[in-house]
Amino acid sequence: MNIYEIGQDFDNYKFFVFKEDDKSNKDVWDYNGQSLVNEWKGLSLELFRDKRKKKDKRSEDFDASCYFSGCLIVNKRTSLLLSEKLKDQIEVLPVNVDGKTSDYYFINVLNTVKAINTDSKSNEEILKMMRDNNCDFNKENIGSYIIFRDSLFYSSYYCTDEFVDFVKQNSITGLKFTCAGIAE
């Protein structure tokens, strides 16, 4: 089975970035699958504007934004679809866009498993595997999860074909899936 890293469709859609110098964003790099509900202070986001381009033809009408893999932001419709599909596997947490409460939400993936097989591999081999999108995933550890984090590389969100199909079937726009390897 193929395993994909979830990312942004930069070619066709605009996306959210962290509002500069906002303290609420500082801990996002440390999220590793722990529950954030009780301590959630939100994220402060803004739509990326490329100052080098006068006209940016990419659409602002997207359902999901994921400018780095571990920061999946979705609109209300998509948050409801994901909540129903993934029940206790995710948390849906509100974010602020341009300084005000928005209809967008951070999806905190709680499924953290030893998904990438790093046993008997040197650091160089592991890094090459990651760079080449040729990871060896452990199917047994992934089990029935269709979206998950790896326990070592937890800042990325990975998913299966079933999640990709779910996104396509529900016409969720803004995401791109890059094959990261296979699970056997």
pTM above 0.95, yes or no: no
Residues 144-183: pLDDT tens digits?
999 999 999 898 999 999 999 999 999 999 999 999 999 9
Min mean pLDDT across 93-102, 113-122, 137-146, 153-162 is at 93-102
Going from the C-alpha of 5 to that of each of 22, 50, 60, 181, the distances in angstroms are: 27, 25, 23, 9
Using the predicted structure, report yes or no on whether residue 100 has a pLDDT greater than 80.
Answer: no
> d(Cα 171, Cα 27) in Å, to the nearest integer?
31
Question: Chain-wide mean pLDDT for the chain?
Answer: 92
In this structure, are residues 142 and 113 in contact, taking their beta carbons and an 8 Å threshold? yes
